[in-house]
Amino acid sequence: MIWLALFVIGLAIGSFLNVVALRYDGGETAPLFSPRAIGGRSHCPHCGTTLRWFELVPLASWIVQRGRCRTCRAKIGWRYPLAELLAGLIAVLVPLRVATAVAAGAPGMAALVGISLFWIVIFEALFLMALIDIRLGIIPDGLNLSLAVIGIFFAIYLGGTIGLANPSLLGPYAGMFGLQANLWLNRLVGALFAGVLFGLLIAGTRGKGMGMGDLKLAIPLGFLLGWPDILFAVAAAFVIGAVAGIVAILAGKRTMKGALPFGPFLAIGVATVFFFGYQFVRWYFRI
């Protein structure tokens, strides 16, 4: 029942974030999350009919209506059910991962719930960031600032519940990279590493490879993940981004000049370290 409830809450969050991402105009008329930017009843973008409550049930409405508007029969894009499903999966898979990762340290049920909630908020925020970066090619400053504030509260919470040692997602393997004794020092180094790396990338490519939005996102991510988790997240983002870029060029969807937005790949990089980082380093050091 708890997992089902989490999934349904996640679906509703996804439905909301999808609307926020679609209505956000880059902050020109109103900032992100303000009623002026996201207010108003939902309507069909094709015929303009205001949607009734039963047409707004996440995932279910789309399936029941077979992906079409009930009034004008216009197709409703895959984007809607897909965004809802992804956000729903975040709400279920994140606590599952936290439970298996932290179980060894056995910090107690309350801490597991608390840590899970932090990570759910972080991943839903990254999901919203990715949706906006894909659509507009920008990352709102408000989101980056929110991630930084969440990171500081997360560090305070971790220090109070599981102690000052850095809880790296890579488990005992993080010790090889040093700086694991104090999570505050660890996270400051993570933020500094991300800031210097992306600063150098922007300077080296004269802003053509990376944008300032990527730098402003990477710094709070460095603080949230700490050292060396941020190193692995950025490496995963570059590898997956490069593969996606090559596939896009081969498929004729992009030219060498037209850059893919990098924000979504940073989010995928964080997810890769969060879900598979420990398994990856364990496999690597075994061979």
Name the minimum Å distance from CB 20 to Zn ion: 21
**Which CA distances in Å does 263 have to 131, 209, 260, 270?**
9, 12, 9, 11
- Cβ proximity to Zn ion: between 42 and 71 the closer is 71
Burial of 22 (0-12, 13-18, 19+ CB in 10 A): middle
- Min dist. Cβ of residue 70 to Zn ion (A): 8
Residue placing its CB nearer to Zn ion in the complex, 44 or 185: 44
Q: Which stretch binds Zn ion (CB under 5 A): 42-50, 108-116, 164-172, 186-194?
A: 42-50
Among 44, 85, 99, 249, binds Zn ion (CB under 5 A): 44
Cα Rg of the chain, angstroms? 20
Peptide linkage before 228 cis (omega within 30 of 0): yes
Minimum Å gap between C-beta 237 and Zn ion is: 38
Interface region with Zn ion, contact rule CB under 5 A, candidates 37-45, 87-95, 243-251, 264-272: 37-45
Task: Name beta bridge partners: 50.
Answer: 43
| Minimal distance, residue 61 CB to Zn ion, in Å | 13
DSSP one-letter string for 17-49: HHHHHHH--SSSSS-TT-HHHH-S--B-TTT-P
Two structure tokens written together for 255: 């030219």
108 neighbors 98 (Cβ within 8 angstroms): no
Nearest to Zn ion of 45, 142 (CB atom): 45
Residue number, 68 or 254, with CB nearest to Zn ion: 68
Residue among 22 and 197 whose Cβ is closer to Zn ion: 22
Contact 58, 32 (CB under 8 A): no
When the beta carbons of 67 and 175 are compared against Zn ion, the nearer one is: 67
> Among positive and negative, which fits the CA dihedral 177, 110, 95, 146?
negative
Nearest approach in angstroms of CB 23 to Zn ion is 18
Q: State the Cα–Cα distance between residues 172 and 96, nearest whole angstrom.
A: 20
**Smallest gap, in angstroms, from Cβ of residue 76 to Zn ion?**
8
Nearer to Zn ion, 46 or 135 (CB): 46
Query: What's the CA angle centered on 96, arms 60 and 150, to 5 degrees?
Result: 90
Q: Which x/- pattern over 192-231 shows residues binding Zn ion (rule: CB under 5 A)?
A: ----------------------------------------
Only one of the segments 40-48, 55-63, 202-210, 214-222 lies at the binding site for Zn ion (rule: CB under 5 A); that segment is: 40-48
DSSP secondary structure letters along 212-231? HHHHHHHHHHHHHH-TTHHH
11 and 59 in contact (C-beta within 8 Å)?
yes
Q: How far is the CB of 72 from Zn ion (least distance, A)?
A: 3
Residues 45 to 84: which contact Zn ion by CB under 5 A?
46-47, 69, 71-72, 74
Number of residues that bind Zn ion (CB under 5 A): 7
Judged by CB, which is closer to Zn ion: 79, or 254? 79
Least distance from C-beta 52 to Zn ion, angstroms?
12
Write out the residues near Zn ion by the rule CB under 5 A.
44, 46-47, 69, 71-72, 74
